[in-house]
Structure 1
Amino acid sequence: SLDHYQVLSVPHDASVQEIKAAYHRALLQHHPDKQNALRGSRSSSESIEISVIKRAYETLVSPEKRGEYDVFRRRKDRIGRAAGPRPAQVISLEEWISVGSGGNGDEEEEEEGPWRYPCRCSGFYEISVSMMERGVHLVGCSSCSEVVWAGYELQGMSSFKMACII
């Protein structure tokens, strides 16, 4: 659903007069008769239904409705930010490759990580023990914006041995 402020092309702190003027502009711009004439000569921009424009106007011109709408928008924005990025896939730590500091293949190093998993862009995801201790599961690629969920559980408070899930 479109944001009422975007529908009328007004800032969030617009006055009632600015909202009324924007409403009239939007009605003229998106009127069906005008859209039909434009389609005949050239491709018109996205057209917004008149009912959507009216609903935006009725909400923003009323102080009570506008206040409720603003509270709803802020709550929705907070939830969206809290949700964060959505992982492309869940990858068990068993599938990650240990890139321990010494590289001599010793089992202790494999338990201490860090671990990497290849991304389809040829970059990689990397997770370390300290990230796991902080409860980090979402890991971003080193080269692109892709995010994956690293599946693991810490066993015991002092042990770094990982039990893989999934």
Structure 2
Amino acid sequence: MLLDSCNLTGTTHYQILSVKEDANYDEIRAGYKAAILNSHPDKLHMNTKESQLDHELQERFLSVQKAWEVLSDPTSRANYDMELQSSRQKLEAVADEVTLEEMTIETIGDAQEFFYQCRCGDYFSVTPSELDEIGLPLNININGDVASQSATGLQPAAVLLPCGSCSLKIRLILHSVP
């Protein structure tokens, strides 16, 4: 799992390189260069005696290298972003977990929207285009069966949906198709 490569304090690779999560390749590269210069043992003219400070600097240097390795590759970055998003969603309290099959589908012309009623009477909703934007495209067959074609293999993906009126959220579980 890519998130295990973050340190125990919960620092993300983006924070290690001091860049925003929506940074482009050039911004990530510039962040990496600055971070590596600030943590490279040769650049800091450190002596070779073993100390706690030396160990911390070595860990910092290795974390900068790992962050660059993950964020410089588009595929590993996309996987890391999905895992990061998923881990953040797991930290939030949810009212319920539902699947697309449990949601009501409303079709107007070519547009579809999935609804699930909240305890307050309003609805949680999501459209296939919204799911596609976050990297979870849907496969809707002739019978109306729906499944995700996510890049996570055969493991289910999840997304949090807020209620239209209250503060409750549900976790929408999307099952991948083989």
TM-score (norm 1): 0.41
Greater gyration radius: 1
Structure having the larger proportion of residues in helix: 1
Which one has a larger percent strand, Structure 1 or Structure 2?
A: 2
